[in-house]
Structure 1
Amino acid sequence: MDTCIFCQIIAGQAPSHRVLEDEHAVAFLDISPASPGHTLVVPRVHARDLWELPEDTCADVARLAHRVAALLRERLEPDGLSVTQANGAAAWQEVFHFHTHLIPRWRGDALRTMWSPDRASFEDLRKMADRLAQR
């Protein structure tokens, strides 16, 4: 897609700092990193979000993300790694080309959780499981 910045990066038409790539996906540094080494992994084919992404392409992205995670661990020695992925503006997706964030984490860093960790009731969980279960 001509207007998609990630498609432009993949095609070499927009600048990026690539970290790793293969025939299916490309990993490059986020221009607004949450932490040093914050890397995005994107499929070479355009898909707006997880709902548009073919299952096999999702697996391809996951494989490269796994390799990037190992690279980040080896080179940066973080205390942890957050892996996030958003779908739709309501979930804070800003670029509408499927992508996964790999964010190196260190104890005491300024990053905070995205949700309140309030415990759900057993009954609420049961109702949701009933609603979602494929029976």
Structure 2
Amino acid sequence: MNDECEFCRIVAGDRSAHVLYEDDRTVAFLDANPAVRGHSLVVPRVHEQELLAVDDAMAPAVFESVRIVANALETVLDPDGFSVFHTSGPLVGTVDHAHVHLLPRIVDDDVSLSLSRDRLEADDASALATRVRESV
């Protein structure tokens, strides 16, 4: 546990949160500053800055909890869909504790997660795919 981390304090029960689900590896709670109704965060119980760097069992446990909470939110809120995302490195924001955002979405909810798109060139794609396969 990191005493400076607000998510660690939530996991430890030292800071209040509206917990939706918890198990031995994860805790899911409502975001205190939601983008939409039901905006939730799923965090590992252990303090890790990077979700992709956790042990082999942790990332699947986090995403299993995302699935469980999404199913419950589906029942309760009947959204049109979900956005699920994770960022890493300096893009994470103000909390250095790995987490996944789960946003129930409705048509015209003003949430913008759009990406600028470009054409994938065959030569570049082939070279990149080769390098990644060699690195795996």
TM-score (norm 2): 0.91
Range with bigger deviation, 116-125 or 42-51: 116-125
Residue 15 of structure 1 pairs with residue 41 of structure 2: no
**CA–CA distance in 2 between the matches of 1:13 and 1:5?**
9
Q: 1:114: Cα distance to partner?
A: 4.2
State the Cα RMSD in Å: 1.4
Are the counterparts in 1 of residues 52 and 59 from structure 2 also a CA contact under 8 Å? Answer: no
Indicate the residue corresponding to 2:131 in structure 1: 131
Distance (Å, rounded) in 1 between the aligned partners of 2:125 and 2:93: 27
Residue 78 of structure 1 contacts residue 104 of structure 1 at CA under 8 Å; is this kept in 2?
Answer: yes
1:68-79 paired onto structure 2 within 5 Å = 68-79=69-80
TM superposition score normalised by structure 1: 0.92
Amino-acid identity (%)? 39
Structure 1 stretches of 4+ with a deviation exceeding 6 A read none
SS in 1 for 2:20: strand
**SS state of the match for residue 133, structure 1?**
helix
Q: Is the alpha carbon distance of 1:112 and 1:67 closer, same or farther for their aligned partners in structure 2, counting shifts above 3 Å?
A: same
Aligned equivalents of 1:110, 1:40: Cα separation in 2: 19
How many residue pairs were aligned?
Answer: 134
Match of 1:6 in 2: 7
Q: CA deviation at 1:115?
A: 2.0
Q: For 2:34, what is the secondary structure of its paired residue? A: coil
Partners of 2:82 and 2:105 within 8 A in 1: yes
What stretches of structure 1 of length at least 5 have no aligned partner? Answer: none
| Residue in 1 that maps onto 2:53 | 52
Contact kept in structure 2, 1:53 and 1:98, CA below 8 Å: no
